[in-house]
Amino acid sequence: MDYFPLFADLTDRPCLVVGGGRVAGRKVRQLLRAGARITVNASSLDPVLLDLASAGKITPVIGAFEPALVNDHLLIIAATSDAAVNQAVAAAAAANFRLCNVVDDGEHSSFIVPGIIDRAPLTVAISSGGRSPVLTTLVRQKIEGLLPARLGAVARWAGKWRETVRARLPDSRARQRFWQTALDGAASDFILSGRTAQADRAMVRALAADQSPSDSGPGIAFLVGAGPGDPELITLAGWRLLQQADVVMHDRLVSPALLDFARRDAELIPVGKSASAASISQDDINTLLVRLVEQGNRVCRLKGGDPFVFGRGGEEAEALAAAGMPYQVVPGITAAVGCAAYAGIPLTRRGLSKAVVLTTAESATGELEPDWANLAAGEQTLAIYMGVGRLNDVSRQLVAAGRPPDCPAALIENGTTDRQRIVRGTLEGLPELAEKHAVTAPALLLVGETVALADKLGWFATPPLSSGLRPDGEVTASGEAIWTEPANLSPGAEI
Ligand code: SAH
């Protein structure tokens, strides 16, 4: 180990920063966050440091550096742009046995400042021993993503209960086991989702029953939106809960790449329903979910898109609520939002669309026939889920109800994934094109004037070339160019 890591309590301790520019300012801000009493020595101060000085937050000593200045200071940072001055500061500090950091100069430093992940009171410090600040930053970014934003609140909550738990469980091994399950269980889930009162209640119950807070009741279900396909489009909260779950019940539409994030020992249960294949019924899913939670499992119910948008998450939440089981809902990016973004189709746009309707063309039970007259009104974008099977009918009904036959429309198949295909044309012509290109589920139908903006705004798809340049481009009766790709489609192809 080249450097000995330590966390120093600088509250109200005297520290010296030599330098009056931007770099010195950055160091001053870091030290201020730690509560240090700071003297800044420089021939002049930049405006930020001047403000801090006039606000009484730092003590300025204007003039050349004098070695005697290092006396009475615990930590010293040399941050001038003059290497000779910085080295003089380091030499004075060394002669007085003070710890000194020279910015970007490991050789003359007796301590270095690590990269910091601040979840106060929890702090992670990372250092490459001064060898590669960029590597330190990359590692810091990776760890940042792993640590929930409210982790500091968990540390504070644990600190609040520390004495009580110590008194209740005098045996240190029993106490350690208790805390391990408490901090990796339902109680910390409550804190991480901002529900301190519930966490406290779990703790009180657990201490009364002499068991860990996570054993103190039933498990919990997380109804998590996985996003539309691209595995990166899950939320941080969803990702964290997926990693914690004992059991993951997932839909067919959930990206397999996401399932890799489940715990190694987690049980994965596919409960996908598809329009054609015989599959598990919603009642069976509800029953299984409730049973798993009752058995004390933390169940991640991972659903494509958003759980509450055509995801039947509402029915699952109702089943859990009826059985008195705790649950948490984590929203996801729904297919309409994801597909629109990846197709370059703004769902709203001044002058073109002032509303978005999320609806479905599926009327499995026969009673859900859409209100065509309302849907046909102008200046709104329709996002129609599960519409591939009924595309002909949808197109005919909308035109009959008054939406112009040449209204732009697009079908986005496997949106946001590397298999995304877009078939784009007019409301009237789309069914024929979809059939020609054999579009299959999952596909989302977008109808509205903004669909035409994909010409300009498409960024994920292979950009369509202008008319005449492509041997396989064809021109519809309305004169609109439709672009076809060779059978072997490239990722994100637009056809
Ligand atoms: N809860 C999901 C919707 C589930 S219903 C959500 O919020 O997105 C399934 C329908 O969603 C599919 O038939 C299709 O219309 C749409 N869909 C889901 N993922 C899609 C994707 N990657 N590309 C296109 N459509 C998708």
Give the Cα separation of 181 and 172 in Å (integer): 14
Same domain for 469 and 433, yes or no, is yes
Domain stop point among 309, 333, 357:
333
Closest atom of ligand 1 to 313 CA is 1
Any residues with CB less than 8 A from the CB of 483 and at least 6 apart, and which?
464, 465, 470, 472, 473, 494, 495
Same domain for 313 and 429, yes or no, is no
Domain of residue 295, residue span: 220-333
> Which residue has the CA at smallest separation from atom 2 of ligand 1?
305
Q: Compute, in angstroms, the gap from residue 247 CA to the centroid of ligand 1.
A: 23
The CB of 309 under 6 Å from ligand 1? The reply is yes
Structure tokens belonging to residue 99: 């710890």
Alpha carbon 279 to chain centroid distance? 31
Residue corresponding to tokens 């629109």: 340
**357-389 burial by CB neighbour count: b if 16+ within 10 A, else e?**
bbbbbbeeeeeeebebeebbeeebbbbbbbbbe
> Which residue has the CA at smallest separation from atom 5 of ligand 1?
310
Domain stop point among 159, 187, 208:
208
Closest atom of ligand 1 to 386 CA is 13
Give the Cα separation of 96 and 422 in Å (integer): 71
Same domain for 66 and 188, yes or no, is no
Same domain for 253 and 198, yes or no, is no
How many residues belong to the chain?
Answer: 495
- What is residue 275's three-state secondary structure? coil
The CB of 39 under 6 Å from ligand 1? The reply is no
The CB of 341 under 6 Å from ligand 1? The reply is no
* Nearest CA among 257, 292, 241 for reference residue 271: 292
The CB of 342 under 6 Å from ligand 1? The reply is no
Same domain for 100 and 177, yes or no, is no
The CB of 443 under 6 Å from ligand 1? The reply is yes
For residue 492, being part of any structural domain is answered with no
Same domain for 341 and 473, yes or no, is yes
**Helix, strand, coil shares, percent, the chain, to 5:** 40, 20, 45
Which of 253, 339, 358 is the pocket-test mutation for ligand 1 (most atoms within 8 Å of CB)?
Answer: 253
Whole-Å CA distances, 213 to 148, 162, 192, 242, 459: 20, 14, 15, 20, 49
Instruction: Output phi, psi for 446, to 5 deg.
Output: -115, 130
Residue corresponding to tokens 């009056």: 20
Same domain for 370 and 386, yes or no, is yes
Q: Compute, in angstroms, the gap from residue 2 CA to the centroid of ligand 1.
A: 53
Angle at 64 between CA 59 and CA 67, to 5 degrees: 85
Give the Cα separation of 253 and 305 in Å (integer): 8
Same domain for 72 and 19, yes or no, is yes
Looking at 411-471, list the stretches that DSSP marks H as alpha helix, in order from N- to C-terminal side: 430-436, 454-457
Query: CB pairs under 8 A, 24+ apart, for 109-114?
Result: 111/3, 111/75, 112/3, 113/27, 113/30, 114/5
Instruction: Output phi, psi for 398, to 5 deg.
Output: -65, -40
> Which residue has the CA at smallest separation from atom 13 of ligand 1?
386
Same domain for 285 and 320, yes or no, is yes
Contact between 233 and 338 under an 8 Å Cβ cutoff? The reply is: yes
Q: What's the confidence (pLDDT) of residue 43?
A: 96
The CB of 227 under 6 Å from ligand 1? The reply is no
Same domain for 284 and 352, yes or no, is no
For residue 267, being part of any structural domain is answered with yes
Q: Compute, in angstroms, the gap from residue 231 CA to the centroid of ligand 1.
A: 14
Give the Cα separation of 410 and 383 in Å (integer): 10
The CB of 58 under 6 Å from ligand 1? The reply is no
Q: Compute, in angstroms, the gap from residue 486 CA to the centroid of ligand 1.
A: 26
For residue 433, being part of any structural domain is answered with yes
Looking up residue 327, the CATH number of its domain turns out to be 3.40.1010.10
pLDDT, averaged in runs of 10, over the chain (495 residues): 90 98 96 96 97 97 96 96 97 97 93 90 90 90 88 94 93 86 82 90 84 62 97 93 93 90 92 67 95 94 96 95 95 98 97 96 66 94 93 95 97 94 95 94 96 93 44 37 39 48
Peptide bond before residue 486 is cis, with ω within 30 degrees of 0: no
Contact between 20 and 49 under an 8 Å Cβ cutoff? The reply is: yes
For residue 30, being part of any structural domain is answered with yes
Residues marked active site are found at 251, 273
Same domain for 442 and 310, yes or no, is no
Any residues with CB less than 8 A from the CB of 419 and at least 6 apart, and which?
413, 489, 491
Same domain for 454 and 393, yes or no, is yes
Instruction: Output phi, psi for 458, to 5 deg.
Output: -60, 130
For residue 130, being part of any structural domain is answered with no
Q: What's the confidence (pLDDT) of residue 495?
A: 52
The whole model's pTM is what?
Answer: 0.74
Q: Number of structural domains, the chain?
A: 4
Give the Cα separation of 217 and 245 in Å (integer): 16
For residue 370, being part of any structural domain is answered with yes
Looking up residue 388, the CATH number of its domain turns out to be 3.30.950.10
- What is residue 192's three-state secondary structure? helix
Give the Cα separation of 18 and 79 in Å (integer): 6
Q: Compute, in angstroms, the gap from residue 306 CA to the centroid of ligand 1.
A: 9
The CB of 334 under 6 Å from ligand 1? The reply is yes
Closest atom of ligand 1 to 253 CA is 19
For residue 231, being part of any structural domain is answered with yes
* Nearest CA among 134, 137, 115, 113 for reference residue 126: 115
For residue 475, being part of any structural domain is answered with yes
